Amino acid sequence: MLTEAANEMLTRVGPGTPMGNLMREYWIPACLSSELKADGEPMRLMLLGEQLIAFRDTDGKVGIMEHRCPHRCASLFFGRNEEGGLRCIYHGWKFDVEGNCVDMPNVPAAQDFKHRIKAKAYKVVERSGFVWTYMGKREQPPELPSIEIMMLPEEERMTRVHMRECNWFQSLEGDIDTSHFGFLHVGGVEMEDVSPSDMNRWAVADRAPDYKATETDWGTMYAAYRPADPGSVYYRFAHFMFPFITLTPNGYFEDQLACTLNVPMDDTHTMTYNLGWKKKTRPLETLKNGDWIPGLQPQVEYLPNTTDWFGRHRLGT
């Protein structure tokens, strides 16, 4: 069990915290590319405890920056996204996607000093259907993650996203914790409910597996194992990759192309992205009668989005 101090250090992600500083040295999925339209309305974005805004300019480039205008701290969320930049609604100062002030219409031309003004903005790239941002201090950011599911063509990849009202580590731990599967998901399921060809039957037959964990250069991996057919053992492998990526154990080796990203919005909210392969040939999540295993159904219901800091991708009842 973690001590209270260790738990605090692990789960606090704001500026200046040990975990927040570590997270900022990786590329972070800020949002889906599809959430931003050229010259569309700016979007509020809570990320690592920072209140940001994201927008896509006329040319399709994305900017992520501090939501307060550096002039008088009016929120740029209310700004006008037009003609290659975001214009503050208060005094008309306009900023490009890199945070440069490109127009200062309330100042006489002879006194213009826009070249000296810059909003706090972060580096941005787009890949795998995500807008990624680097919030760290290095001049040269690290490489983007090259996980197999992210490198597939867009038409072969599906992405599901939802917000969780918990810290990022609670979210991540649930992804790779194989022990809870036998209780939360199949606690009311008996062996006769599971198809004889479905390997989930061994998690039903033995809900107390043994474990083996190994540290790696990129995080950790572990396996839960238990007896299966005579002379065989059933293993469920799970992986954690820095800073918040998991490979969950639900699948067969030959087609389990998937990953989950648990992106900390702040200390108590997490945006969870589930990526999967559309061509997967051996689905696991149904019982013998065709019903989905509780909690693993592919379709989810959402509440309507709002424009507040935590108003996106909220699950319904």
Q: Average pLDDT over the chain, rounded to whole?
A: 92
Mind listing the pLDDT tens digit for each residue in 16-51? Answer: 999 999 999 999 999 999 999 999 999 999 999 999
Mind listing the pLDDT tens digit for each residue in 197-239? Answer: 777 788 888 889 999 999 999 899 999 999 998 999 999 999 9
- The span from the CA of 84 to the CA of 79, in Å, is 13
Per DSSP bridges, beta strands 245-247 and 258-264 are: antiparallel
Per-residue pLDDT band for 317 (boundaries 50, 70, 90) equals low
**Length reported for the chain:** 317
- The span from the CA of 203 to the CA of 180, in Å, is 10
**Residue 192: what pLDDT?**
79
* Cα of 50 vs its chain's centroid, Å: 15
C-alpha angle with apex 173: 171 to 174, nearest 5 degrees?
70
Per-residue pLDDT band for 286 (boundaries 50, 70, 90) equals low
Q: Which domains does the chain have, with CATH numbers?
A: 25-144 (2.102.10.10), 146-317 (3.90.380)
Quick one: CA torsion of 12, 215, 144, 270, rounded to 10 degrees?
-30
Instruction: Write out the two tokens for 153.
Output: 């063509």
- What is the C-alpha end-to-end distance of the chain, expressed in Å? 32
**Residue 223: what pLDDT?**
93
* Cα of 203 vs its chain's centroid, Å: 28
Element (H, E) at 176: helix 168-176
